[in-house]
Amino acid sequence: MTRSIGSLLLLGASGDLSGRLLLPAFGQLLDREEQRRDVVLIGAGSEDWDADAWRDRLKTSFDSGDVSDETLKSVLEGTRYKLVDVTSVQDLKALIDSCPPAPAIYFALPPSVTVAACSALQQVSLPEGTTLVLEKPFGTNEESAASLNQLLAELVPEQQVHRVDHFLGRSTVLNLIGVRFANRLFEPLWSNEHIERVDIVFDEQLTLENRARYYDRAGALMDMIQSHLLQVLALGAMDPIATINAVDLRDAKAEVLRACRPWNDDPVAAGRRARYIQGSIDGRDVPDYTAEPGVDPSRNTETLAELVVEVDNWRWAGVPFRLRSGKALRERRKEVLITFKRLPHLPTGLRGEPIPERLRLAMGPDRMALEMNVNGPDDPLALDRVALDTNLNPGRLPAYGEVLAGVLDGDPLLSVRGDTAEECWHIVDPVLQAWRDGRVPMDEYAAGSDGPSSWS
């Protein structure tokens, strides 16, 4: 807690992210805190809203997050909304000058508009302690991420830049760290000596859900693997940390990501891509992806991606980390699955094939299951399979509430450091290039299936 944030300036306050996620999370954060937080909310966007329209926006958003009337009332006392062009130096200057110091400026804007707004800020003198909060995607490749980092570095120090990865709320991050480092059991086994493979999977049943404007230009590899799943990999593969603070945690993650590359350094063989075609999910008919409103088939966007990554260091050499994410799949699955190596020897006399143990760490809701071999119920010499299964405790706030708490507390623990943002592109850029060059086929899968049949 190093800075005192006096205002949250939401640029793009009339957009989808603000209305659906940020404003409800802001209300929930204020609602659930023991001490009243003195922060003024200022909305700015492209809609010509008067005070009543802004009040309606806040009320609708807060209601969707079950925020108390008391919190709504206290926010309404200080808040205001301004119609601005966020790429105009004059508009930004007037807006920022009117914010109680220090402002946290949240760019809830389309990525290209965020870059234009940051460029305009070069001509605005920012108050001491200003925090900048950027959404994903951060750049479109390593080069553009590096130039955005350079631009930000000219505006504020790195510790005042929050690159949001809301996928990992604080409680999920802490649950992963807790399981790994608050138990003696796992860490001695956590390496290529005992682990055969790691699967990090985020499968959704959701289809495009009218998000073509963004998703059709991104696709599954950019949308999920380049950002969220590589962050999960880093948490799962990092060395033990001395302290849970932003410096130690982000150093440890960066070290892992610097060692990552496509499996065998072969960007063609390391990845697979596919796109859904007509099918049905839970009785709901789904059209071909290319027939969804707003999709341009010539973009050749994948809706399912898989990338096998190698963490080229002493601990992990030779262990494949398979990252997979897709839409319109049969079941929702969001987990890290660790498969241990086969036993060196099963005592003669025990019958059955011992299946390697598997540790499942599911995310949102967080759960953990250790699948292992035990003796059978009827014949104690025959092997049986059981799972030790438990819920991990949920946090007190939704992911965006945790993100905003970090921003307003000046704690970048959950945010992605600049070098890491570039590193993640460095890992996937060669794969994206191979796909753009047509060197990897686009497979198909029926909506509601488990993916292409050739993949199983």
Residues in touch with ligand NDP (CB under 6 A):
12, 14-17, 45-46, 84-87, 108-111, 113, 135-136, 214
Write down the least CB distance from residue 419 to ligand NDP, Å.
21
Write down the least CB distance from residue 268 to ligand NDP, Å.
28
Give the side-chain half-sphere CA count within 13 A for 418: 17
Q: Which is nearer to ligand NDP, 18 or 420 (CB)?
A: 18
Q: Which is nearer to ligand NDP, 24 or 451 (CB)?
A: 24
Q: Which is nearer to ligand NDP, 15 or 267 (CB)?
A: 15
The yes-or-no answer on residue 194 being catalytic is no
Residue in the shown chain whose Cβ atom is closest to ligand NDP? 15
Write down the least CB distance from residue 98 to ligand NDP, Å.
16
- Residue 276 forms beta bridges with which residues? 445
List CB contacts of 181: < 8 A, sequence separation 6 or more.
187, 240, 241
Write down the least CB distance from residue 242 to ligand NDP, Å.
32
Give the number of other CB atoms < 10 A from CB of residue 35. Answer: 5
Q: Which is nearer to ligand NDP, 11 or 440 (CB)?
A: 11
Write down the least CB distance from residue 49 to ligand NDP, Å.
11
The verdict on whether omega for the bond into residue 102 sits within 30 degrees of 0, i.e. cis, is yes
| Residue 27 in tokens | 């209300």
Segment holding 236, helix H or strand E: helix 230-237
Q: Which is nearer to ligand NDP, 23 or 336 (CB)?
A: 23
User: Cα angle at 57 between 54 and 63, to 5 degrees?
Assistant: 140
Report the C-alpha gap between 201 and 172 in whole angstroms. Answer: 15
Q: Which is nearer to ligand NDP, 97 or 193 (CB)?
A: 97
What is the residue whose two structure tokens read 């130690």? 248
Helices (H) and strands (E) in the chain, counts: 13, 18
Write down the least CB distance from residue 311 to ligand NDP, Å.
27
List CB contacts of 51: < 8 A, sequence separation 6 or more.
80, 81
Give the number of other CB atoms < 10 A from CB of residue 364. Answer: 17
| DSSP3 helix / strand / coil % (the chain, rounded to 5) | 40, 25, 40
Q: Which is nearer to ligand NDP, 90 or 393 (CB)?
A: 90
Segment holding 420, helix H or strand E: helix 418-436
List CB contacts of 85: < 8 A, sequence separation 6 or more.
46, 91
Write down the least CB distance from residue 409 to ligand NDP, Å.
21
Q: Which is nearer to ligand NDP, 133 or 359 (CB)?
A: 133
Q: Which of 162, 166, 194, 228 is catalytic?
A: 228
What is the residue whose two structure tokens read 């299936």? 449
Segment holding 276, helix H or strand E: strand 271-277
Report the C-alpha gap between 295 and 311 in whole angstroms. Answer: 35
Write down the least CB distance from residue 136 to ligand NDP, Å.
6
List CB contacts of 444: < 8 A, sequence separation 6 or more.
274, 275, 276, 277, 452
Active-site residue numbers?
A: 228
